[in-house]
Structure formats: C-alpha cells, structure tokens
Structure 1
Amino acid sequence: MSAPEYHFNPSESPNYGFTIPDHPSRYLRAFLAFIDAYHAWDLDLIVDCFDDQLEHRILPSSLGRPVLNKRQYREYLKGVMPLFKRFKVTIHEVIEADEKMTVHASSIGESASGIPYANEYTIIVHFVPVPPGSQALPKMRLVKEFIDSAFSAKFFAEERARAKLREAKVTTV
C-alpha cells in the first residue's frame, strides 16, 4: 500500500498562528510593546521603543529608501500616520537568538480615504542588550523591515495623491 499523498497547507503549519508564550523573553516583551504602541497609534510610544542610536531600514534596497535614525524615523511616521484611520498588526512567527529577533508579520488597516490596506513584513531586530537584573525592556537599535514593495509603492503614492486632493478641496472652500 502506498503512502497517502501529502499537500502542504500553510495554515496547518506549526510555524503559523503565533501565540505568545506563557513566559516571553524580555526581547519578545519589548517587541510586543512596540506592536501595542502601533495598535494605540501613538507616535511617542512607538518611537520610545527605539534606542537613541537607531538605524532603521525599509527594504528591499531596490526601493531606494534611506537608512533612518531615531529623529528621522519619527518624522517619517509623522507623515505616514495621518494617512490611516485604522492599523492592526498580526504576528505569524518569531525566531529569537539572544538579543536578535526575526518576525514574520502582516498588517491590515484602512486609509484616511477609506481604501483597504494590507501588507506583509519580515522584520529583523537587533536589541541593545540589557544588563542582568535590570527590569527595563530593551530598546531596538537596528531594524531591517522587509515590506511588500509593490503594494506599498502603489498604495502610498495613491494615498498621498488623495490626501493632496482633500487638502486642495479644504483650501478652496
């Protein structure tokens, strides 16, 4: 008798459907605080998750995005946040190695003009190690955020154009 044929179904994979462990590491707790800050849509809380020496990259490099420090990333977010009414992140998988972490995540949301938003990410984070005994959550020093580049380029170009049209209507009224 031959073995039954196997068909891979990602929704049944043990690497899909991330659940927070009963005792998450301090690095995972720090990353979850970062996600909570995004869910609160609070610029100060988001930026507070970063070390003062932050290097943030939005990749792939074919997008031509510059490396941003903490101040620059704050300014970038200040420009992006008004483009959204809603934004929610789902974590699919987390791989930790000491103070380094790789996360597969996706997000859904709604733009300020009511257009659905959906993106997928692989985020590589290097945290600043925290001294033993410290209760502080570690800060993120290096972030490499791989995005769905085709969707992002189209979505943000179109949403910024719609925002300019809304502004023009307000100034002419």
Structure 2
Amino acid sequence: MKALFIKYKSVLKFILTFLLVYAVLSLGYKFYLQWSDGSKFYPDYMTHLVAKQTESLLNTFGYNTQVLPHPDEPSMKLMLNGKYLARIIEGCNSISVIILFISFVVAFSGKLKTTFLYILAGSVLVYIVNLLRIVVLSIGLHHYPEYSEFLHTVVFPGIIYGMVFLLWILWVNRFSNLKKKNA
C-alpha cells in the first residue's frame, strides 16, 4: 500500500489540493450568498453587477435593455425592447466557474507570484468572457428564440468551459511546477 502512495503521490496531492481549495472557496461563496441581504444589490452583489453590466453592453449595442429585480425569485429580469427575455440568476455571474478555475491552478501550482497573477488574469478573463457570453446569448435569444435551449445549454456553456479548459492547458504547459519537473 505504501508503494502505491509513493508511486501516485503527485496524483493524490493534486486531487487533495484541488478538493480542498474547491471546498474552501465553495463554502466561502455559499456563506457570501447566505449573508447577502439583497437590500442594496438584489439578489447579491455579483449577480446584480453582471446584470447591470449586461444591460449596459446591450444598450451600447443599440438594444433598449432594462434589468429589474424578479418579484418571485432571486434573479434579475432581462427586458429587451420592453419584452421579458430571460432571467439572470446567481449561476450566471461566473463565480462558480472561477472557483473551479482557481482550484485547478492552485492544485498544479507554480511559483507564488506567477500563480497569483495567472489566477487574477484568468479570473478577469473568465468574468469578461462570461459577460460577453450573456450579451451574445441575449441577442441570440432575441433574434432566434427557437434555438434558445440549444444556445443556453450547449453553445454558450461550451464557450465558457472550453475557455477555462484552454486556460488550464496553458497553465500546465507553461507555468506550473509540473512543467519544470518534466523538463
């Protein structure tokens, strides 16, 4: 048994580190959501921010857009040209995806400064791409409502998770300690 632990030490270290970081960040995020009172920023600050930035970008692109607190659930209603188009929920704010991204990068850590800067840059990139994803999805839903299920469940999740996967590949191949060990 000891030989197996020694042989797979790096794999076990990766799995345990990933799970620990993911659990800590997810718990922190869960507490953040529980303690968000929603009085100033409904339903929570990050979801509210994403909704407002989506509204601003869509207005910039010439759409008459408005986001309003949903009266029956913790979400923001996205109104396009006076018509209810979609809702922006907590899952749309990219925080869960960023937590997944950070957990993987930390599990394959590199130098502290490099790891921190990559996490910061990658998290900002994930956030921006997610925001653009919501904007383009909204435009797609507006012009092609018959493809709403396909756009929402296949195309746009594929974009955000595909980008995170590419960031992981870049991290492992260019910056992590694994690269240095194999060199």
Compute the TM-score of the two structures, normalised by the length of structure 1.
0.28
> Whose helix proportion is higher, 1 or 2?
2
> Whose strand proportion is higher, 1 or 2?
1
Compute the TM-score of the two structures, normalised by the length of structure 2.
0.27
